[in-house]
Amino acid sequence: MRRLLVWACLLVAGCAHRGLPVRRPIATSPSGIQTTLHRQVVNAVDAGEGDLAIASLRRKLAAEPENLAVRLELIRRYRELGFPDLSLEHARLAVERFPDSPDAHIELARALRALGMHEKAADELEAFFRQHPQASPNVAAWLGILRDELGQWKQGEAAHRAALAMAPNRDDLHNNLGYNLLRQGRLDEARQALERALALNPKSKAARNNLGLVLAAQGSGGLEEFRHTSDPATAHNNLACALIEQGRYEEARKELESALAYNRNHPAALANLRLLAELDGQPPAVRLPQSPRSKWSRFWAAVWRVLAGSEPSGERPQR
């Protein structure tokens, strides 16, 4: 059975961590979809010349080659603008120039990850972490994210716990551990980690959504958690995603009916409805409740019955 794409974000230094994409139910992130400008690099010498921020960062870096903050910002900017190869090149230079910098090694791992080199990224970061185990909780946190993305859940769990040992009051780190435990099927432990994240930060959408997935997997709802972070249609759709993964197709169909009752054109709910039809063999249709007629529509229907002896069918008369 296709597994759910768990969409709840794992937030570490701005990272949005998701499961590896396959044909899965579509859940809608309440924060929306961030768009990235992708351009083809025709000439690496000219890459980024049209971007004022990159031009400014280049000038600063030329004037201050030992300024690590500027170098790291340039790496991030290249990655955001769709130049992962240049981002990687600058990240390697940063690591060579600043071998003990945890931020430089994190940016190198992120650059490798952006090019799909997850295993190498994890190995590079793990090597640094072993040599500098107390350098920064972000190193361990990113290592956990990379291991999770590779499906190496036990190794990921160890990294998340190492991050929490250094920063026990960071809600994002508790959320990351909760996500990892959820994917291992350790639901009670996952719930505890996520509830701790929400105790530290009640506004955490990532932890709230992950907790909704845990509660759905435990058979105790989850809809209210999703409602905290999204509109009603999206909340019902996201609960349907969790139910589809668990093979609870009839319940998932009811949630999709509720989602489409709120918004008949909800794209994720419609896509999930088509996927559900493939899985359970039922027609890709739902029963939507009829909207009650307005006072005026009832009035004119009564007038029509008096004048014509019956209520109109809504069809045009045939000529």
Per-residue pLDDT of the chain (319 residues; tens, 9 = 90+): 444 333 333 333 333 343 333 345 766 654 433 333 333 333 333 344 457 777 888 888 788 888 888 888 899 998 988 899 999 999 999 999 999 999 999 999 999 999 999 999 999 999 999 999 999 999 999 999 999 999 999 999 999 999 999 999 999 999 999 999 999 999 999 999 999 999 999 999 999 999 999 999 888 778 888 888 889 999 999 999 889 988 899 889 999 999 999 999 999 999 999 998 888 788 777 665 554 455 565 666 665 555 655 443 443 333 3
Query: Is 1 domain-assigned?
Result: no
Residue 205 lies in a domain: yes
Report d(CA 253, CA 259) in Å as an integer: 10
- Write the DSSP symbol of residue 88: H
DSSP assignment string, 248-303: -HHHHHHHHHHHHHH-TT-HHHHHHHHHHHHHH---S---PPPPPPPHHHHHHHHH
Q: What tokens appear for 285 in the block?
A: 């249709």
Per the domain annotation, does 222 fall within a domain? yes
CA-wise closest residue to 153 among 121, 188, 182, 128: 182
- What's the CA angle centered on 190, arms 188 and 192, to 5 degrees? 70
111: domain CATH number?
1.25.40.10
How many domains is the chain built from? Answer: 1
Cα–Cα distance between 7 and 24 in angstroms, integer? 11
Query: Is residue 17 situated within a structural domain?
Result: no
Q: What tokens does 79 get? A: 């990655």
Q: What is the DSSP letter of 4?
A: P
Q: Rounded to whole angstroms, how far apart are CA atoms 303 and 310?
A: 10
How far apart are alpha carbons 169 and 183 in whole angstroms? 23
End-to-end CA distance of the chain: 54
Determine the Cα–Cα distance for residues 123 and 115; give it in Å rounded to an integer. Answer: 15
Confidence (pTM): 0.71
| Domain presence at residue 243 | yes
Q: Is residue 314 part of a domain?
A: no
**Is residue 83, in this structure, part of any structural domain at all?**
yes
CA separation for the pair 124, 22 (Å, rounded) = 26
Could you give the CA distance from residue 117 to residue 99 in angstroms, rounded to a whole number?
Answer: 21
Q: Which domain holds residue 84?
A: 52-293
Residue 192 resides in a domain: yes
